[in-house]
Structure 1
Amino acid sequence: MVHVSIIGTGNMGGALVKGLARGGDHRVTAIDADPDALDAIDEHSEATSTDLTAAQDSPVVVLAVKPDTVAVVLEELDLSGDQTLVTIAAGVSTDFVSARTDATVVRIMPNLAAETGDMAAAVTQGELTDDIRELLDDVGEFVEIDEDLMDISTAVNGSGPAFVFYLIGAMKEAGIEGGLDPEQAETLAAQTFKGAAETVLRDDRSVDELIDAVCSPGGTTIEGMKVLRGSDVEAKVIEAVLAAEQRSEEIAEEFHDD
């Protein structure tokens, strides 16, 4: 059972703490300057601390703080070359972090579904150890990418859950307008997205082929698809992802060392 220290237990750090606890293969020490944040995940952690030195004995340390806090934390965090530091801060490059620690650095972009074991994550290629692979497998799926693709990954799988929540909300509202009560509509909409996503991941057919499989000639689905295909909804989704990518690039510019 690998000992993991997670520094920063906000939304993403907290999701990782809960997801790893749920998986049962890791011992987690949660570290945060805010005692209230630690209280929120206390039952999911083996230990909690407000002191960064609590991470010194962990073979794997996850840095789950905001980008503008990374440099400050790294100044105080004393890790050895035998440890691996996993950083999840948007826009903060591996080189920026590596220059400030002796630990081996792995950069990932996870998302909040780590809490339920359904995370999608992108990982930079290069220093991916078995311990990190096992950690990521414990909370979801991951792909290995070149670091220059991390901004678009941040937009697709990092920001993506918010875009999907928005679409679920729209389908929920349609159900309510049709007479379903809010709880019924939310369950049907959310489970439909979950099932459709699993189908895409497990089925050999393309997304377009799967759409065709649902669209029986003269049926209900094809009428709805006519509306979607006649609108600019696809363009707007792409625009939203590219806007998130651009913001990730802007953040990255702030962390370029001279």
Structure 2
Amino acid sequence: MLLNALSQGTMTRVSVIGCGNMGGALIRGLRSVDGYHVTAIDLDPAALVAVESFAEETTDDASAAREADIVVIAVKPSIVESVLADLDLRADQTLVTFAAGVSRGFVAARTDASVVRVMPNLAAETGNMAAAVTEEGLTDEVRDLLGAVGEYAEVDESLMDIATAVNGSGPAFAFYLIDAMKTAGIDGGLEPEQAERLAAQTFKGAAETVLRDDRTVDELIDAVCSPKGTTIEGMKALRESDADDGVVEAVVAAERRSRELAEAFTDE
């Protein structure tokens, strides 16, 4: 079950190393909540410009991370090791890694800080992130950070590859399905903007219902499907198709790739 953390009452200093898509999404998301002082760190001037209005400080100097309570590494897996080599963190700091396939042990062996591995997604920007976080190393401070920009599930690290596929890659799969519904709407005569708004809002509302309602997904489907109505006809077509198999195959492929990436990052 996903958990939602309570907002914290004290100022937490957060340094985000890597201000691209995911790092930038976190920085923008934290801007809309109280209690965080954010320093954006990146060697790319353009990346810093893109987030400068959302962070209290921007710099290309990684040593600035030493002043943070929580340091977030949001860079590509291939450069995690070089970033760690440039950091000199204290034992009382917490290092949160966002890099797919990079084990907690690999990172912990290269820093004095306490390490937590997280697989977030881009919805952090709007406060709707779904994140998986390793149980080992997790602190209330990190729980608060994740809860400030969305919801999270605590998992054993052995499950991080499948979590990466479900919530890390999942937004792209959802976008694909939204676009399919949008296309159907356009084909039926709706304007593109109308079809996109209706499809996207429908997914948003359905997701909120799943999260907040005590009924199972099957029970919710039944609640929408009136006998001899329109929805039940549509569901019949879906169930006779290979749509569910396609989604499962997408998740399995993403999980397989996550495992392949992990092979380059051992605890040794």
- What does residue 155 of structure 1 align with? 165
Look up the match of 1:210: 220
Q: What is the distance in 2 between the residues matched to 1:233 and 1:24? A: 42
Q: Secondary structure at the match of 1:100?
A: coil
- 1 CA distance for matches of 2:123 and 2:62? 26
Q: Which residue pairs with 2:40 in the alignment?
A: 30
Mapped partners of 2:230, 2:138: distance in 1: 47
Question: Is 1:49 matched with 2:55?
Answer: no
1:134 matches 2:137: no
Please, which runs of 5 or more residues in structure 1 have no aligned partner? Answer: none
1:73 to 76, 83, 87: 83
Q: 2:113 matched to 1:100?
A: no
Alpha-carbon distance in structure 2 between the residues aligned to 1:210 and 1:239: 24
Which amino acid in structure 2 is aligned with residue 111 of structure 1? N
**Equivalent residue, structure 2, for 1:169:** 179
Identity of aligned residues (%): 68
Distance in 1, Cα, partners of 2:186 & 2:34: 39
Partner of 1:119: 129
User: After the TM superposition, which of the residue ranges 18-27 and 87-96 deviates more from structure 2?
Assistant: 18-27
Could you tell me how far apart the structure 2 residues matched to 1:8 and 1:231 are?
Answer: 42
SS of the counterpart of 1:143?
A: strand
- CA deviation digits over 1:101-154, x for unaligned, max 9? 000000000000000000000000022112111101100000100000000000
Q: How far apart, in 2, do the equivalents of 1:64 and 1:240 lie?
A: 24
Matched, 1:83 2:87: no
Task: Read off the aligned partner of 2:98 and give its amino acid letter.
Answer: I
Q: CA deviation at 1:24?
A: 2.6
- Could you tell me how far apart the structure 1 residues matched to 2:198 and 2:154 are? 33
Structure 2 residue 238 is the aligned partner of structure 1 residue 233: no
How far the C-alpha of 1:178 sits from its partner, in A, is 0.9
- Counterpart-to-counterpart distance in 1, 2:227 and 2:197: 28
2:16 match: 6
Q: String of CA shifts for 1:13-45, please: whole Å, max 9, x gaps.
A: 000000011123211000001000000010000
Residue correspondences, number: 258
On the 8 A contact 2:109/2:267 being kept in 1, the answer is no
Within 1, Cα distance between the matches of 2:267 and 2:216? 42
Distance in 2, matches of 1:45 and 1:172, equals: 35
TM-score when normalising by structure 2: 0.95
**Alignment-mate amino acid for residue 206 of structure 1:** T
Deviation track 1:72-97 (CA, whole Å, cap 9, x = no partner) reads 00011110101000001000000000
* Per-residue deviation, residues 204-229 of structure 1 (Å, max 9, x unmatched): 11101100100000000011111100
The residue number in structure 2 matching 1:256 is 266
Q: Alignment partner of 1:43: what SS?
A: coil
What is the rounded CA distance, in whole Å, between the counterparts of 1:175 and 1:101 in structure 2?
52
Cα distance between partner residues in 1 of 2:76 and 2:228: 51
Q: How does 1:218-229 map to 2 (within 5 A)?
A: 218-229=228-239
Partners of 1:25 and 1:189 lie apart in 2 by 35
Secondary structure, aligned partner of 1:44: coil
Name the amino acid aligned to 1:145: V
Q: 1:189 aligns with which of 185, 199, 214?
A: 199
